[in-house]
Amino acid sequence: VEKIMVEGADGYGILMGCGDDAVFLVLANQSAKQGLLMLDIKRAVNEIKAALN
């Protein structure tokens, strides 16, 4: 899984792959800015990948 994004009436659910055996799930409310949210998620995923290696 590279990225799955679900947009609902109350916000977002984003699932990002963090390597072969891990995924990162983020739930955010509707007031979150999508661009900033994706930047923060990418940074967190990079840190998780580094920690798993």
Q: Distance between CA 6 and CA 34 in Å, rounded?
A: 12
Pairing type for strands 3-7 and 11-17 reads antiparallel
Domain count for the chain: 1
pLDDT at 1 over 90: no
14 has a pLDDT exceeding 90: yes
Q: What pTM did the predictor assign?
A: 0.84
Range of the domain at 35: 3-52
Mean pLDDT (the chain, rounded): 93
Nearest to 45 by CA among 7, 5, 11, 16: 16
Q: Is 11 left (phi over 0), alpha (psi -120 to 50) or beta?
A: left
| C-alpha–C-alpha distance, residues 27 and 25, integer Å | 7
